[in-house]
């Protein structure tokens, strides 16, 4: 009995070991520019699946219905992910790593393009119809000279300010800090962005650093954040927090906390994405209807460098019907679809002409300011090691703001951590 018992255990152990070994070589890495997956399915047509995060406005459902009516043989099915950006990223990684052919077109955040492209998971896109599309948005889908993602929607940060308390918006950071006494007189906070320890802090810290003339990574992805300009930039946030111009609770603010503070009239200046504009004008609980406006972000010597937001469409290298996918990706960039993104989705379009379209001037008055913001936008670091790079920036910027280390040390550690991430991975 004892012998039989251990025999069956040994048999099971022998069963498992080859399983462990055989799963071994499918971890990241397709191989390179001659990745065989790139050639497969390029001319096939058929039904495809479009993957994106949660659709809060219903715009995707309407777009897909339109496409399906026009292309009954190449229907698109939507797969909706969660609302959390990190979970969306992890879901895409899992499916792409398993080379799942079910994911054909994916809505990718700009910061994931380099990572996915470097792992050989994205199909290079040729023959894209890019006339009229904003250049900075097109560039965001480019990695190493090849276009891996096509523009879908854009986004940029703007400065929201109270028109009843401030007549003209500040053009530089020092000007804005000088206006903080107005906030004090009215017993409200002066300035807030998104400074909690999450991706939003990378956005805000990058804007501060880029706005002062610093550069986080250079064109080839090498870390270059250690410079006097970066220190000046980050110092702006650090000093403002020290002086109380950024409220103490500011380090817990994500998008919603800062938006609610501004909407309840408790904040004079807010750095925020465009979605807050219509909410502040139309939401019942808003205390500032008609009492605010938007302006480009203030930099050190002039217009600041907003972080480029938005999403791009990428085609999976393992898709079976790539011809349909290419057509779909081009279709999204057409004017009719972009108009729907503005009216139904409240997103920023990628076609330059739509920003100054008279049809939008009443309900979307922020569009011209947003165009200026996007034209001056600097994308967040384009590097295949983005998760580690964003952690380096967030950890050190957060520590600097809370006064746990000096700004110089924070920038130096940021540089060292980014270099370590690019080497050891």
Partner 1 sequence: MSSQSTSSAVALEEGTKEPKQRKRKRGAGDEDRELIDPHQARRAYMLIAPTIVLLAIVIGYPVLRAVWMSFQQDAQLDPQTGFFQEGGFAGFENYTHWLLQRCGDTACPVGTTAAGFWEVVWITVFFTIVTVSLELVLGFAFAMIMNGKYRGRGLVRASILIPWAIPTAVTAKLWYFIFATNGIANSLLNTDILWFSDKWAARTAIIVADVWKTTPFMALLILAGLQLISADIYEAAKVDGASAWQRFTSITLPLVKPALMVALLFRTLDVLRMYDLPAIMTGGGAGDGNDTTTLSILVVEEVRSAFNSAAALSTLTFLFVFLVAFVFIKFLGVNAVEGGTSGGRKR
Nearest CB to partner 1, comparing residues 197 and 271? 197
- Please tell me whether residue 252 binds partner 1 under the rule CB under 8 A: yes
User: What is the SS3 assignment for 64?
Assistant: helix
Both structure tokens of 263: 């909407």
Q: Is 413 one of the binding residues for partner 1 (CB under 8 A)? A: yes
φ, ψ dihedrals at 317, nearest 5°: -70, -15
Is residue 198 at the binding interface for partner 1, with CB under 8 A as the rule? yes
Alpha-carbon separation of residue 1 from 4, 7, 11, 370 (angstroms): 5, 10, 15, 77
How many whole angstroms separate alpha carbon 122 and alpha carbon 146?
A: 11
Tracing tokens 């406005």 back to the chain, one arrives at 57
Stretch that binds partner 1, among 54-62, 101-109, 320-328, 382-390 (CB under 8 A): 382-390
Rounded-to-integer distance, Cα 137 and Cα 151, Å: 6
Task: Tell me if 167 contacts partner 1 by CB under 8 A.
Answer: no
Beta strands in 281-382 (DSSP E): 292-295, 308-315
Residue 19 sits in the site that holds partner 1 (CB under 8 A) = yes
* Of residues 397, 398, 402, 396, the one with CA closest to residue 241: 402
Six-digit token string for 207: 């804007």
**Terminal C-alpha separation, the chain:** 50
**36 interacts with partner 1 by CB under 8 A:** no
Q: List the one residue from 197, 259, 271, 322 that touches partner 1 (CB under 8 A).
A: 197
Nearest to 416 by CA among 386, 396, 401, 387: 396
**In this chain, which of 185, 187, 285, 424 binds partner 1, going by CB under 8 A?**
424
Cβ-in-10-Å burial (0-12, 13-18, 19+) of 356 comes to exposed
- When the beta carbons of 270 and 367 are compared against partner 1, the nearer one is 270
160 and 269 Cβ atoms separated by less than 8 Å: yes
Q: Contact between 399 and partner 1 (CB under 8 A)? A: yes
Cross-sheet strand order for the sheet of 267-272? 189-192, 267-272, 158-162, 292-295
Q: Is residue 394 within the footprint of partner 1 (CB under 8 A)?
A: yes
Q: Which helix (H) or strand (E) holds 207?
A: helix 199-211
- How many residues lie near partner 1 (CB under 8 A)? 64
Q: Which stretch binds partner 1 (CB under 8 A): 21-29, 38-46, 64-72, 156-164?
A: 21-29
Q: Which is nearer to partner 1, 354 or 417 (CB)?
A: 417
Minimal distance in Å, beta carbon 206 to partner 1?
Answer: 15
Nearer to partner 1, 251 or 340 (CB): 251
Instruction: Please say which residue, 16 or 69, places its beta carbon nearer to partner 1.
Output: 16
If one asks whether residue 168 binds partner 1 (CB under 8 A), the answer comes out as: no
> Least distance to partner 1 from the beta carbon of 216, Å?
13
86 or 163, CB closer to partner 1? 86
For residue 398, give Cα distances in angstroms to 206, 350, 393, 394, 404: 13, 32, 8, 6, 9
b/e sequence 167-196, b meaning 16+ C-beta within 10 Å: eebbbbbeebbebbeebeeeebbbbbbbbb
Instruction: Give yes or no for residue 69 binding partner 1 (CB under 8 A).
Output: no
Member of 92, 110, 188, 196 binding partner 1 (CB under 8 A): 196
CB of 241 to partner 1, least distance (A): 12
**3-state DSSP percent of the chain in helix, strand and coil, to 5:** 50, 15, 35
31 interacts with partner 1 by CB under 8 A: yes
Footprint of partner 1 on residues 89-128 (CB under 8 A)?
A: 89-90, 117-120
User: Which of these ranges, 51-59, 62-70, 341-349, 412-420, lies near partner 1 under the rule CB under 8 A?
Assistant: 412-420
Least distance (Å) from partner 1 to the CB of residue 92? 12
> Among 32-40, 58-66, 159-167, 207-215, which window interacts with partner 1 (CB under 8 A)?
32-40
Q: What gap in Å lies between CA 76 and CA 105, rounded to an integer?
A: 10
Interaction between residue 185 and partner 1 (CB under 8 A): no
Q: How far apart are CB 357 and partner 1 at their closest, in Å?
A: 38
Q: Which of 143, 160, 161, 341 binds partner 1 (CB under 8 A)?
A: 143
Can you tell me the distance from the alpha carbon of 285 to that of 263, in angstroms, rounded to the nearest whole number? 8
Interface residues toward partner 1, by CB under 8 A: 1, 4-5, 8, 12, 15-17, 19-21, 23-25, 27-33, 35, 86, 89-90, 117-120, 143-144, 196-198, 248-249, 251-252, 384-385, 387-388, 391-396, 398-399, 402, 404, 413-414, 416-425
């Amino acid at each position: 009995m004892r012998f039989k018992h251990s025999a069956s255990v040994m048999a099971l152990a022998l069963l498992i070991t080859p399983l462990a070994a055989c799963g071994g070589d499918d971890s990241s890495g397709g191989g390179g520019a001659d990745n065989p997956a790139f050639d497969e399915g390029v001319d096939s047509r058929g039904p495809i699946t479009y993957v994106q995060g949660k659709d809060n406005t219903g715009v995707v459902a309407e777009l897909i219905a339109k496409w399906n009516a026009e292309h009954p043989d190449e229907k698109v099915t939507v797969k909706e992910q969660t609302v959390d950006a990190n979970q969306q990223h992890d879901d895409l990684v899992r499916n792409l790593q398993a080379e799942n052919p079910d994911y054909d077109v994916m809505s990718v955040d700009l910061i994931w393009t380099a990572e996915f492209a470097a792992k050989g998971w994205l199909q290079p896109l040729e023959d894209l119809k890019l006339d009229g599309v904003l250049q900075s948005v097109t560039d965001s889908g480019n990695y190493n000279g090849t276009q891996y993602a096509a523009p879908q929607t854009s986004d940029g940060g703007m400065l929201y300010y109270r028109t009843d308390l401030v007549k003209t918006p500040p053009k530089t950071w020092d000007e804005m800090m000088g206006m903080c006494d107005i906030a004090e007189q009215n017993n409200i906070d002066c300035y807030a962005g998104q400074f909690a320890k999450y991706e939003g802090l990378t956005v805000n810290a990058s804007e501060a650093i880029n706005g002062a003339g610093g550069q986080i990574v250079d064109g080839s992805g090498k870390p270059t954040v250690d410079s006097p300009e970066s220190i000046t930039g980050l110092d702006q946030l650090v000093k403002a927090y020290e002086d109380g111009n950024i409220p103490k609770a500011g380090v817990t603010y994500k998008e919603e906390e800062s938006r609610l503070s501004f909407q309840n009239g408790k904040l004079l200046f807010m750095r925020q994405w465009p979605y807050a504009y219509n909410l502040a004008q139309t939401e019942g609980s808003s205390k500032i209807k008609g009492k605010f406006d938007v302006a480009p972000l203030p930099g050190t010597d002039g217009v600041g460098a907003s972080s480029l937001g938005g999403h791009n469409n990428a085609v999976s290298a393992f898709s079976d019907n790539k011809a349909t996918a290419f057509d779909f990706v081009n279709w999204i960039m057409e004017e009719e679809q972009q108009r729907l993104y503005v009216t139904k989705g409240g997103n920023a379009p990628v076609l330059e002409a739509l920003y100054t379209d008279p049809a939008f001037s009443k309900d979307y008055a922020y569009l011209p300011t947003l165009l200026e913001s996007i034209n001056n936008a600097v994308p967040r670091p384009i590097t295949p090691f983005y998760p580690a790079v964003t952690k380096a920036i967030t950890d050190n910027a957060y520590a600097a703001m809370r006064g746990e280390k000096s700004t110089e040390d924070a920038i130096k550690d940021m540089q060292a951590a980014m270099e370590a991430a690019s080497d050891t991975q």
